[in-house]
Amino acid sequence: MDYVGRIYRPPSESTSLLLQVTVGCSHNRCTFCDMYRDKPFRAKPREQVERDLLEARALGPKFSRVFLCDGDALILSTTRLLEVLAQVRRELPWVERVGTYGDTRSVGKKSVAELSELADAGLGIVYHGVESGNDQVLAFIEKGGTRQHCVETAAKLREAGIVHSVIVLLGIGGTRWSEVHARDTASVLTAMDPPYVGALTTTVVPGTPLAAAEARGDFELPSKFGLVRELHTLVEGSELSACRFSSNHASNYLPVRAELPRDKPELLRILSAIIAEGDEGRLKPEWMRGL
Ligand code: SF4
């Protein structure tokens, strides 16, 4: 398989065939993100993608899922994506689901009819970094979309029958917007009502604009318990109809996995107790956080 640069995929795609159809991220401006800074965005040549699929076919039915890399492969034209999905079906007929990262831009550019076509061709899940439901925070981190765009993205994916897996970032509003970030993120999740939510913890990566903002004193990460309070506000404020909620990413101080709304009372009870105790021993030590 031909891979250009570092390859990222969601944790739940750890056993998937990683098929790189684009290099980098077409946005590449989020201030906290360093994933693709070294890679100018481009689509990979058709012939290369075809060669990769032939190579994967030679392995036999080893992978039941395919994940299209890099950052926002969904930004490719619908025609090109349909071509890739058809090739996956042809060469790897045993594949049950294709997934990709997407966002307000890539979904916003496509009609529900186009998204439905992609779903029929095998696209089953889109992972979307919403990060925050607060427009000030979204502007601060240069996310390039608004909370309203996030709500529209969720509605379109739902109508097209594509599973929407949402990622939000604890701490991304810093201490300045910590409370309003958590509240507005809870309310945007309610409006989006996705079946999967992953809450990750912001890491200030050296060399990023967020690190520069931190050095200037324009950004300060909330304390460990400040982050747990954000998690509490997020869970308390969101009304989700059927959601697998997790904060078990390596970056988090408090790993949580819950089915909402079923587990909400118990989860809030645990979070409240941890906040009230203020015992750092209940949180994951720094050295155990995989960043
Ligand atoms: S859209 Fe995603 S991959 Fe692209 S810069 Fe933002 S966080 Fe990074």
Q: What pLDDT, on the 0 to 100 scale, is given for residue 92?
A: 97
Q: Is 2 inside a domain boundary?
A: no
Give kind and range of the element (H or E) at residue 120: helix 112-120
**Ordered mean pLDDT values, 10 residues apiece, the chain (291 residues):** 94 95 96 93 97 96 96 96 98 98 97 98 98 98 97 98 98 98 98 97 96 98 95 97 86 83 94 88 60 42
Could you tell me the distance, in angstroms and rounded to a whole number, from the CA of residue 150 to the centre of ligand 1? Answer: 15
pLDDT digits 0-9 by tens, 70-100: 998 999 999 999 999 999 999 999 999 999 9
9, 16 in Cβ contact below 8 A? yes
Whether residue 1 lies inside any domain: the answer is no
Q: Containing domain of residue 131, as a range?
A: 11-288
- Whether 5 is in a domain gets the answer no
Q: Is the CB of 256 under 6 A from ligand 1?
A: no
Pocket test for ligand 1, best of 30, 37, 149 (most atoms within 8 A of CB): 30
Q: How many domains does the chain have?
A: 1
Q: Which of 7, 26, 28 to mutate to test the pocket of ligand 1 (most atoms within 8 A of CB)?
A: 28
pLDDT score of 282: 76
Determine, yes or no, domain membership for 87. yes
Tokens 């965005």 identify what position?
41
Q: Quick check: is 147 in a domain? A: yes
Domain presence at residue 176: yes
| Cβ atoms within 10 Å of 131's Cβ, excluding its own | 26
pLDDT in tens, 54-65: 999 999 999 999
Tell me the CA–centroid distance for residue 64 and ligand 1, in Å: 27
- What CATH number should be reported for the domain holding residue 20? 3.20.20.70
